[in-house]
Amino acid sequence: MLFIILISTVCFLVFLHVLFNCHEKARLVRSIPGPDNIFLIGNALEFLATPVEIFGLTRKAANKWKIIYRFWAFNLAAVNVFTPEHVEKIISTTKFNSKSILYSFMRPWLQDGLLLSDGAKWQQRRKILTPTFHFNILQRFCVIIEENSRRMVEMLNNSAGEKVDVVPLMSEFTLNSICETAMGTRFSEEMADKGESYKAAIHSIGKGLVQRVTRIMLFSDLIFNLSAFGREQIKSIQIVQNFTKKVIKDRKANIEQYGAENLDDMDNNEYNMNNKRKRTAMLDLLIQAQKVNLIDDQGIQEEVDTFMFEGHDTTACGLMYCLMLLANHKDIQDKIFEELFTIFGNSDISASYDDLSKMRYLECCIKESLRLYPPVPFISRQLTESTDLGGYKIPSDVFCHIHIYDLHRREELFPDPLKFDPDRFLPENCIGRHPYAYIPFSAGPRNCIGQKFAMMEMKSAISAILRRFEIYPVTRPWDLRIAADLVLRSTEPIYVIFEKRNTLSSK
């Protein structure tokens, strides 16, 4: 009996070996450099680690293999690229527009929103949503964001001279901003309380997704949903979607009472800019599209979930790392203040859209911060047909992970890559740079639809802070412990000290 069991086990293992390894796809993938494989399971054990260790593992792999490397687990394979030439080949056209299977794990939450959808649905949704970020509407949004920046500064006045964790501070600012602009819903006290639960639930979802992505046994919906991670995710998604349903319900009620074009017109004078009160929210466009049967209630929910996440969490990450870097580089901070003084003088007026466009050095600083700490450190596509990368033939049905974090730290693209040097983004220093060397908002047809909005929001927040405070470091770049997550998240608070400026003068 024991002999039969032994023979059966050997036969089963041989069968799995043939199934996983004895075909053209496996041969091609194994020809790509990468970590040593273990019989049958490939590199699966390497990912049974903490999120911080997983983030470090991918950095070490990039440093070792420089151009391209692969991971292999059972019958799944992924190639990892981080050169501008390879990145361009994958994301510059619609040929490889489909997201990899990793994104499917977000589907219970974001479903067929713009981040996850493909084909005709993606094209239609993108067409509906693009007008939200038109120049004229961004000008209108600027007034609301500036008001939120002022509120944030008033809060900081109460903490002057103390160390402040900028992570929750920036998260609250960006969540308020995306709700009041793209969603057309101002936070009530009730909504503010729900917002805290929403942010905590987003973090919980991210942690669960990392566990699922790195443990192949959790790829199964059945197994994952029965696990502790799956049960927690179901609760978190319910919290998130209850919040976004409330946002949708409130906006529809507001439109019913005041019309689609007016944002809470009862007290709109405080947001008045050049007597232009009209402000088209993204949610308004979705509601209008529903009236002509271009989208249904489910579709609206999908896009609101997508934009609430992408519009607040990623921008908050960009802001908190930028503030940390500026606190650690007083000379650069002072140059920004000189630029701001040139624009505003001693005035304490809010910045207009035109004022923000004049903040060219601040924009260089933000871009350099996004180079060092891209809020989305990697993206992943499904190769729907074979292609050549780095002299290797990559078969179809392989994942292609594009590591933006490592791309941005290539020394041949950015000399002394760990140095915070905003001058890299002065116009004269950008001449000749590969167009896919710097992609904090992705690039190609599936680039971030809201990147101009995000830059405007970051300029507004940082300029409002630096006009009124000098900031000093507590957290240093080498203190950061970054974990694999939906966004580039630090496991520890990021502290900055805000000291009130004695004068608005540059002298």
For the entire predicted model, the pTM comes to: 0.90
* Confidence grade of residue 257 (pLDDT, cut at 50, 70, 90): confident
- Do the domain assignments include residue 208? yes
Where is pLDDT greater, at 146 or 36? 146
d(CA 414, CA 435): 13
Most confident range, picked from 175-189, 193-207, 250-264: 193-207
Average model confidence (pLDDT) across the chain: 87
Could you give the C-alpha distances from 207 to 141, 211, 226, 229, 233, in angstroms and in order? 32, 6, 16, 8, 9
- Alpha-carbon gap, residue 293 to 357, rounded angstroms: 38
Let me know: does 240 contact 486? Beta carbons within 8 Å.
Answer: no
Paired with 403 in beta bridges are 378
What average pLDDT does range 374-384 have in this prediction? Answer: 94
Residues of the chain above pLDDT 90, percent? 59
> Is residue 317 within 8 Å of residue 489, measured between CB atoms?
yes
pLDDT (0 to 100) of residue 423: 98
What CATH number should be reported for the domain holding residue 107? 1.10.630.10
CB neighbours of residue 352 within 10 Å: 16
Contact in structure between 408 and 372 (CB atoms under 8 Å): yes
The answer to whether residue 86 sits within a structural domain is yes
Task: Say if residue 448 carries a ligand binding annotation.
Answer: yes
Question: Of 73 and 432, which is predicted with more confidence?
Answer: 432
| Domain assignment of residue 404, yes or no | yes
Q: Which residues pair with 482 in a beta bridge?
A: 490
SS3 165: strand
Domain count, the chain: 1
Q: What are phi and psi of 480, to 5 degrees?
A: -65, 140
Q: Residue 262 pLDDT > 50, yes or no?
A: no
Q: Is 3 inside any structural domain?
A: no
| Between 367 and 267, the higher pLDDT residue | 367
pLDDT at position 272 is: 34
Q: Is residue 136 part of a domain?
A: yes
Categorize the per-residue pLDDT at 7 as very low, low, confident or very high, splitting at 50, 70 and 90. low
The 3-state DSSP class for residue 385 equals: coil
- How far is the first Cα of the chain from the last one, in angstroms, to the nearest whole number? 90
Region 176-183 average pLDDT: 88
DSSP H helical ranges for 22-133: 24-30, 51-65, 84-91, 101-104, 107-110, 119-129
Q: What's the pLDDT at 91?
A: 95
pLDDT score at 275? 34
What is the per-residue pLDDT for 169? Answer: 94
Q: What is the mean pLDDT of residues 318-341?
A: 98
Closest by alpha carbon to 475, among 504, 461, 496? 496
Most confident of 187-201, 220-234, 255-269: 220-234
CA-CA distance, 104 to 121, in Å (whole number)? 16
pLDDT of residue 2: 63
According to the model, what pLDDT value does residue 23 have? 56
Return the pLDDT at 280: 61
Whether the CA torsion 485, 487, 488, 489 is positive or negative: it is negative
Is the residue at 204 inside a domain?
A: yes
Helix, strand, coil content of the chain in percent (nearest 5) = 60, 10, 30
Long-range contacts formed by 328-337: CB under 8 A, 24+ apart: 328/420, 328/473, 328/476, 328/477, 329/420, 330/470, 330/472, 332/365, 332/420, 332/422, 333/466, 333/470, 333/471, 335/361, 336/361, 336/362, 336/365, 336/462, 336/463, 336/466, 337/466, 337/467, 337/506
Instruction: Calculate mean pLDDT across residues 466-473.
Output: 97
pLDDT at 503 over 80: no
Helix/strand number for the chain, H first, E second: 20, 11
The band of 18, judged by pLDDT with boundaries at 50, 70 and 90, is low
Tell me: the pLDDT tens digits for 82-136? 999 999 999 998 889 889 888 999 999 999 999 999 888 999 999 988 888 888 8
Look up the domain containing 360 and give its range: 31-500
Q: Of 11-15, 151-155, 317-321, which range is least confident? A: 11-15
Which residue is it, tokens 């979607």? 241
The conformation of residue 440, written as its DSSP 8-state character, comes to B
- Per residue in 131-172, pLDDT (tens digit) is 888 888 888 899 999 999 999 999 999 999 999 999 999 999
